[in-house]
Structure 1
Amino acid sequence: MKLHELKNVAGAIHRKKRVGCGEGGGHGKTSGRGGKGQSARSGSSIRPGFEGGQMPLYRKLPHRGFNNYNFRTTYATVNVGDLAKLDASVTEVTSEVLAKHGLVRDDGRALKVLGDGEISRALKVTAAKFSESAKAKLEKAGGQAINA
């Protein structure tokens, strides 16, 4: 079977609901929007949690605890196997060098080196963090893992 031979199962495709085309079609007059009011108008949408001006439940209830999501540290990750793919002229690896070679994005995030893959040449790698296996593989190959 090939992609162009795939067919939808019976009942998966529905025809578009035609509204406002007379009472005989079943969706005439108000076109399935009920009577008058905000929800009957075009472009209308009421945000989730809105209670018509009444103080919403999420504002009535006390907020407890702390969420670290806004203050988290995110890392640009690269594997030891990817470092081995760098050309032979590179001996010192930093996040700038990796960004230039297209292995990480140049967005200012801290660099973390992970241990997937193998490396056979000595590299001097400067990063914010190293996994234990990455550090071991770099040092076994004769390189250095320097914390920035």
Structure 2
Amino acid sequence: MSLSKLKAPKGANRERTRVGRGQGSGLGKTAGRGGKGQKARSGNMHFEGFEGGQMPLQRRLPKFGFKNVFRREFEEVKVGDLDGLSGVVDPAALKGAGLVRGNRDGVVVLGGGELKSAVTVKVHRVTAGARAAIEKAGGTVELIPAPVTMYEKAKAARKAQAKK
């Protein structure tokens, strides 16, 4: 069998019903649209949420809130999760251990759990409780700068342009 000989199986394709073509067709006169009214007219498609002219619900309710486009989202790691790691713990090591995905603006260590071994933690943010727990176990904490966002790059470019 070749591609030129392919065709749909019998009964797979049906002809389009032609409405409004006489009473004998069964869909003559009103063409299956019933009597009069908005739904019988052409171009009657109204948008989602349309309530027949009544003020729709989405317009009756007040607007609220906003989405902060400058928000930074950090991946969270608890101090107790660092216990199995050794040496220098940075975002790459955390990603390798499966503790973070690495698709946010940085990593923050939160103070949950206990740390038994001394580790050097290099992350973007650390809570006070987490810092105390790491230093109590004999480890150290180094903060690394968070990645620069496109908004900060644009702001820096505008400042540089203004100085010229």
TM-score range, shorter chain: 0.5 to 0.7
User: Structure 2-normalised TM-score?
Assistant: 0.51
- Quote the Cα distance in structure 2 between the aligned partners of 1:128 and 1:112: 6
Counterpart check, 1:115 vs 2:111: yes
Counterpart check, 1:126 vs 2:126: no
- Quote the Cα distance in structure 2 between the aligned partners of 1:76 and 1:119: 19
Instruction: Give RMSD over aligned pairs.
Output: 3.2
- Quote the Cα distance in structure 2 between the aligned partners of 1:99 and 1:47: 44
- Following TM superposition, the consecutive aligned residue runs of length 4 or more in structure 1 with deviations greater than 4 angstroms are none
- Quote the Cα distance in structure 2 between the aligned partners of 1:83 and 1:47: 51
Which residue does 1:77 correspond to in 2? 76
SS of equivalent residue, structure 1 residue 70: coil
1:41-84 deviations in Å (ceiling 9; x for gaps)? xxxxx2569xx9xxxxx8xxxxxxx9561110110110000001
- Quote the Cα distance in structure 2 between the aligned partners of 1:35 and 1:48: 16
- Does structure 1 conserve the Cα–Cα contact (< 8 Å) formed by 2:33 and 2:39? no
Matched to 1:110, the amino acid is G
Structure 1 unaligned blocks of 5 or more: 1-27, 40-45, 53-57, 59-65
Matched to 1:131, the amino acid is T
Structure 2 unaligned blocks of 5 or more: 1-31, 54-58, 60-64, 145-164
1:78-97 aligned at under 5 Å gives the runs: 78-86=77-85, 90-97=86-93
How many pairs are equivalent? 99
Q: In the TM superposition, what is the alpha-carbon distance from 1:29 to its structure 2 partner?
A: 5.9
User: Structure 1-normalised TM-score?
Assistant: 0.56
